[in-house]
Amino acid sequence: MKIRQLRQDENPPMDLLLLADPSRESIADYLERGECYIAENEAGKVIAVYVLLSTRPQTAELVNIAVCEEEQGKGIGKKLLLDAIQRARFKGYKTLEVGTGNSSIGQLAFYQKCGFRITSIDYDFFTRHYEEKIYENGIWCRDMIRLTLDLV
Protein backbone atom coordinates (compact mmCIF):
# COMPACT_ATOMS: atom_id res chain seq x y z
CA MET A 1 0.00 0.00 0.00
CA LYS A 2 1.26 3.47 -0.88
CA ILE A 3 0.09 6.68 0.81
CA ARG A 4 0.54 9.91 -1.14
CA GLN A 5 -0.93 13.39 -1.47
CA LEU A 6 -3.67 13.76 -4.06
CA ARG A 7 -2.43 15.78 -7.04
CA GLN A 8 -4.20 18.98 -8.19
CA ASP A 9 -5.21 17.27 -11.47
CA GLU A 10 -6.81 14.25 -9.75
CA ASN A 11 -10.41 13.90 -8.58
CA PRO A 12 -10.85 13.32 -4.85
CA PRO A 13 -12.35 9.89 -3.97
CA MET A 14 -15.86 11.18 -3.12
CA ASP A 15 -17.30 7.72 -2.44
CA LEU A 16 -14.74 7.21 0.32
CA LEU A 17 -15.01 10.75 1.73
CA LEU A 18 -18.80 10.32 1.97
CA LEU A 19 -18.33 7.23 4.17
CA ALA A 20 -16.99 9.52 6.89
CA ASP A 21 -19.08 12.63 6.27
CA PRO A 22 -22.56 12.77 4.69
CA SER A 23 -22.23 16.46 3.80
CA ARG A 24 -20.90 17.09 0.27
CA GLU A 25 -20.85 20.78 1.14
CA SER A 26 -18.49 20.42 4.09
CA ILE A 27 -16.31 17.94 2.14
CA ALA A 28 -15.95 20.47 -0.71
CA ASP A 29 -15.08 23.17 1.81
CA TYR A 30 -12.28 21.30 3.59
CA LEU A 31 -10.91 19.79 0.37
CA GLU A 32 -10.43 23.37 -0.82
CA ARG A 33 -8.61 24.43 2.36
CA GLY A 34 -6.86 21.21 3.46
CA GLU A 35 -4.51 18.53 2.14
CA CYS A 36 -5.96 15.27 0.85
CA TYR A 37 -3.95 12.03 1.08
CA ILE A 38 -4.90 8.75 -0.57
CA ALA A 39 -3.81 5.15 -0.07
CA GLU A 40 -3.46 2.94 -3.14
CA ASN A 41 -3.18 -0.83 -3.16
CA GLU A 42 -0.71 -2.78 -5.32
CA ALA A 43 -3.13 -2.61 -8.28
CA GLY A 44 -3.26 1.21 -8.02
CA LYS A 45 -6.83 1.26 -6.64
CA VAL A 46 -7.59 4.01 -4.12
CA ILE A 47 -8.70 2.17 -0.96
CA ALA A 48 -8.50 4.87 1.72
CA VAL A 49 -8.31 8.60 2.22
CA TYR A 50 -7.68 11.25 4.84
CA VAL A 51 -7.78 15.05 4.88
CA LEU A 52 -5.60 17.20 7.11
CA LEU A 53 -6.61 20.79 7.80
CA SER A 54 -4.75 23.58 9.57
CA THR A 55 -7.22 25.10 12.04
CA ARG A 56 -5.52 27.23 14.69
CA PRO A 57 -1.88 28.14 15.26
CA GLN A 58 0.08 24.91 15.88
CA THR A 59 -3.10 22.84 15.55
CA ALA A 60 -4.25 20.60 12.72
CA GLU A 61 -7.48 18.65 12.43
CA LEU A 62 -8.03 15.32 10.73
CA VAL A 63 -11.34 16.27 9.13
CA ASN A 64 -11.97 13.04 7.23
CA ILE A 65 -10.57 9.51 7.30
CA ALA A 66 -12.11 6.55 5.53
CA VAL A 67 -11.18 3.06 4.37
CA CYS A 68 -13.28 1.33 1.68
CA GLU A 69 -15.74 -1.12 3.22
CA GLU A 70 -14.06 -4.33 1.91
CA GLU A 71 -10.73 -3.30 3.46
CA GLN A 72 -11.95 -2.16 6.90
CA GLY A 73 -10.76 -3.99 10.00
CA LYS A 74 -7.38 -4.95 8.48
CA GLY A 75 -5.21 -2.27 10.09
CA ILE A 76 -5.33 0.16 7.15
CA GLY A 77 -7.14 2.91 9.09
CA LYS A 78 -4.49 2.74 11.80
CA LYS A 79 -1.69 2.99 9.18
CA LEU A 80 -3.37 6.08 7.72
CA LEU A 81 -3.85 7.66 11.12
CA LEU A 82 -0.19 7.05 11.99
CA ASP A 83 0.79 8.58 8.63
CA ALA A 84 -1.36 11.67 9.38
CA ILE A 85 0.23 11.98 12.84
CA GLN A 86 3.74 11.76 11.35
CA ARG A 87 3.00 14.34 8.67
CA ALA A 88 1.38 16.74 11.15
CA ARG A 89 4.37 16.40 13.49
CA PHE A 90 6.81 16.94 10.59
CA LYS A 91 4.93 20.11 9.57
CA GLY A 92 5.46 21.47 13.07
CA TYR A 93 1.97 21.14 14.53
CA LYS A 94 1.84 20.59 18.28
CA THR A 95 -1.69 19.21 18.46
CA LEU A 96 -3.81 16.99 16.23
CA GLU A 97 -7.58 17.00 16.71
CA VAL A 98 -10.42 14.85 15.44
CA GLY A 99 -14.15 15.01 15.98
CA THR A 100 -16.76 12.28 15.81
CA GLY A 101 -20.40 11.76 16.71
CA ASN A 102 -21.59 10.63 20.13
CA SER A 103 -23.12 7.61 18.33
CA SER A 104 -19.89 6.62 16.52
CA ILE A 105 -18.89 3.93 19.00
CA GLY A 106 -16.44 2.15 16.64
CA GLN A 107 -14.72 5.41 15.66
CA LEU A 108 -14.38 6.43 19.32
CA ALA A 109 -12.67 3.07 19.97
CA PHE A 110 -10.46 3.49 16.88
CA TYR A 111 -9.18 6.97 17.82
CA GLN A 112 -8.59 6.10 21.48
CA LYS A 113 -6.70 2.92 20.51
CA CYS A 114 -4.44 5.19 18.44
CA GLY A 115 -3.69 7.45 21.43
CA PHE A 116 -6.30 10.23 21.14
CA ARG A 117 -8.04 11.43 24.31
CA ILE A 118 -11.48 12.98 24.65
CA THR A 119 -11.05 16.68 25.38
CA SER A 120 -14.43 18.31 24.82
CA ILE A 121 -18.01 17.91 23.63
CA ASP A 122 -19.65 20.27 21.17
CA TYR A 123 -23.25 19.83 22.28
CA ASP A 124 -25.89 19.74 19.51
CA PHE A 125 -23.28 20.16 16.76
CA PHE A 126 -25.07 17.68 14.48
CA THR A 127 -28.58 18.97 15.19
CA ARG A 128 -27.37 22.48 14.35
CA HIS A 129 -25.40 21.62 11.20
CA TYR A 130 -27.25 18.69 9.60
CA GLU A 131 -30.84 18.88 8.38
CA GLU A 132 -31.53 15.13 8.61
CA LYS A 133 -31.57 13.35 11.95
CA ILE A 134 -28.66 10.89 12.09
CA TYR A 135 -28.98 7.54 13.89
CA GLU A 136 -26.09 5.13 14.35
CA ASN A 137 -25.90 2.03 16.56
CA GLY A 138 -29.46 2.90 17.61
CA ILE A 139 -28.25 6.20 19.10
CA TRP A 140 -29.33 9.68 17.98
CA CYS A 141 -26.19 11.48 16.84
CA ARG A 142 -26.43 14.94 18.36
CA ASP A 143 -23.09 15.89 19.89
CA MET A 144 -19.58 16.13 18.46
CA ILE A 145 -17.01 14.40 20.67
CA ARG A 146 -13.65 16.09 20.17
CA LEU A 147 -10.45 14.10 20.69
CA THR A 148 -6.89 15.37 20.82
CA LEU A 149 -3.39 13.97 20.44
CA ASP A 150 -0.33 15.87 21.68
CA LEU A 151 2.37 15.74 19.00
CA VAL A 152 5.25 16.94 21.20
Interacting residue ranges for ligand COA, rule: CB under 6 A: 19-20, 65-67, 72-78, 100, 104, 106-107, 109-110, 113
Closest CB 13 distance from ligand COA, rounded Å = 12
Nearest to ligand COA of 95, 104 (CB atom): 104
Which helix H or strand E contains 120, and what residues bound it?
strand 117-122
For residue 123, give the DSSP letter: T
Closest CB 118 distance from ligand COA, rounded Å = 13
How far apart CA 133 and CA 93 sit, in angstroms, is 35
Closest CB 19 distance from ligand COA, rounded Å = 4
Nearest to ligand COA of 23, 92 (CB atom): 23
**Three-class SS of residue 132?**
coil
Closest CB 110 distance from ligand COA, rounded Å = 4
**Three-class SS of residue 57?**
coil
Strands (E), 42-84: 46-56, 59-67
User: 130 — alpha (psi -120 to 50), left (phi > 0) or beta?
Assistant: beta
Nearest to ligand COA of 18, 54 (CB atom): 18
How far apart CA 142 and CA 119 sit, in angstroms, is 17
Nearest to ligand COA of 58, 137 (CB atom): 137
